[in-house]
Amino acid sequence: MNPCVIGIDIGGTNTVLGLVERSGNCVAEATLPTRGAEPVGQFLPRLYEHVEILLQRATDEGLTLQGIGIGAPNANFYTGTIEHPPNLAWEGVTPLAEFVRERFGVPVALTNDANAAALGEMFFGAAQGMKNFVVVTLGTGLGSGIVVDGNVLYGSDGFAGELGHVTVVQGGRQCGCGRRGCLETYASATGIRRTVAELIADRMDAETNASPLRDIPFSALTAAHIAETAKLGDALALEAFERTGDILGRALANTIAYLSPEAIILFGGLANAGELLLQPTRRAMQAHTLNIFRGKTLLLVSTLMERNAAVLGASALIWKELAA
C-alpha cells in the first residue's frame, strides 16, 4: 500500500481538500463552502463527509492514509487549535487537530495558510532544496511563512511571521488590526487598490488623466483590473505597481537583515502580476539591502499557483511531521 495524506485548507469562503501522494501528486480534490457564519459544530460533519469520500478514493487507489494536514486562519501549530479566527464564527479556541485526530485515528497537524504555503514551496515548489526562505502571500492581506534551517519559525506562541503587520510608514494607512502603516495596507491586493485611490487623489496631469481606472468605483476595482490596465501601458496603473513594489522591496530588504534567507517567494493574487510587481520590488529590495547581503537573496514567484497550492501546502505540513 502506498502512503498518502489529506491536505485541508479552510478559507473564509471555501474549504478545499485533497488526497496527496508524497510526490505532490494530487489524486483527488473536493471543495465545500466554509459558511463562516456557522458554528464549528455544523462545519465539521460537512467536512468529515468530504474526507470520507477521499478516504474511499484512497482505498480504491491502493493508498493508505498516513495523516491529515490543515491550513486555517489563526491556527496554532503548537496546540493544534484555532484561536478567535477573524472570518469564522467559531467562538473562542477550537481544538481542531484533536477533533480530526479522534475522528480519523491518524496524526493531524495544523498551521496558518501562509506557513502551509511555505512548506508547500519547500516540498513541491520554488523552495525545493532550500532551508532558509520566506514565502509572502499577497492576497486580500499580506501573510508570511518563514522557514529557518528547514523548519517553520513559529516563535514562542505559535504565531510568529506576521510580516503583514510590520510598520512600514509611521502614521501611515489605517490597518484592520487597529494600527497604522502596516505593510499589508500597501502591499496586498487591497493595498494596491488603495494606492490607485491615492494616485487619483494626488495626480492631475495629462499622463494620468485619461486612465480608465478613474472610471471604476473603488468598491468594484480589483488588483486584476490594475494589472490588466498596467499591461496596456496606463501610467497611473504602472505608477501604482511602482509604489507597491517600492514599499514591498524596502520591507523585504529589512526582512533580509533579520533572516538572510536564500530566497523570498511571492505568492497569491497580486503575485500573478509577475514582472509588473517583481521589477519595482526587486529594484527597491536590492537598493536597500545591506551590502553584506546584497545579491544573495533571490526574489521568486511561487511555482504552485497554477496547481492547488493550498492543498499541497497543508499536505506538506503533515508530510513534514510524518518525516520528523
Residues that bind its own copies (CB under 8 A): 130-132, 146, 148-149, 151, 153-163, 165-167, 170, 177-179, 250, 253-255, 257-262, 288, 290-293, 296-297
Of 129, 113, 161, nearest to 314 by C-alpha is 113
Q: How far is the CB of 258 from its own copies (least distance, A)?
A: 6
Query: C-alpha 282: how far from its chain's center?
Result: 19
Residues with Cβ within 8 Å of residue 257, at least 6 apart in sequence? 289, 290, 293
Looking at the Cβ atoms of 78 and 218, the one nearer to its own copies is: 78
- 201 φ, ψ (degrees, to nearest 5): -70, -40
Q: How far is the CB of 146 from its own copies (least distance, A)?
A: 7
Looking at the Cβ atoms of 184 and 234, the one nearer to its own copies is: 184
Cell numbers at 92, concatenated:
473562542
Q: How far is the CB of 73 from its own copies (least distance, A)?
A: 12
Looking at the Cβ atoms of 102 and 157, the one nearer to its own copies is: 157
Looking at the Cβ atoms of 98 and 262, the one nearer to its own copies is: 262
Residues with Cβ within 8 Å of residue 171, at least 6 apart in sequence? 180, 181
Looking at the Cβ atoms of 206 and 324, the one nearer to its own copies is: 324
The DSSP call for residue 119 is H
Q: How far is the CB of 192 from its own copies (least distance, A)?
A: 20
The per-residue DSSP string of 143-196 comes to: EEEEEETTEE--TTTS----GGGSB-STT-SB-TTS-B-BGGGTSSHHHHHHHH
Sheet of strand 93-94: strand arrangement: 75-76, 81-83, 93-94
Q: How far is the CB of 92 from its own copies (least distance, A)?
A: 15
Looking at the Cβ atoms of 120 and 158, the one nearer to its own copies is: 158
If you search the block for the grid coordinates 478545499, which residue do you land on?
Answer: 16
- The whole-angstrom separation of Cα 34 and Cα 190 is 22
Looking at the Cβ atoms of 220 and 292, the one nearer to its own copies is: 292
Q: Where are the alpha helices (DSSP H) in 62-138?
A: 96-104, 113-124
Q: CA end-to-end span of the chain, whole Å?
A: 21
Looking at the Cβ atoms of 58 and 300, the one nearer to its own copies is: 300
Q: How far is the CB of 292 from its own copies (least distance, A)?
A: 6
Tell whether the torsion through CA atoms of 304, 310, 313 and 318 is positive or negative: negative
Looking at the Cβ atoms of 298 and 322, the one nearer to its own copies is: 298
Cell numbers at 56, concatenated:
474511499
Q: How far is the CB of 222 from its own copies (least distance, A)?
A: 27
Maximum alpha-carbon separation in the chain: 67
Q: How far is the CB of 121 from its own copies (least distance, A)?
A: 15
Q: How far is the CB of 87 from its own copies (least distance, A)?
A: 15
The per-residue DSSP string of 266-324 comes to: EESGGGGGTHHHHHHHHHHHHHHS-GGGTTTSEEEE-S-TTTTHHHHHHHHHHHHHHH-
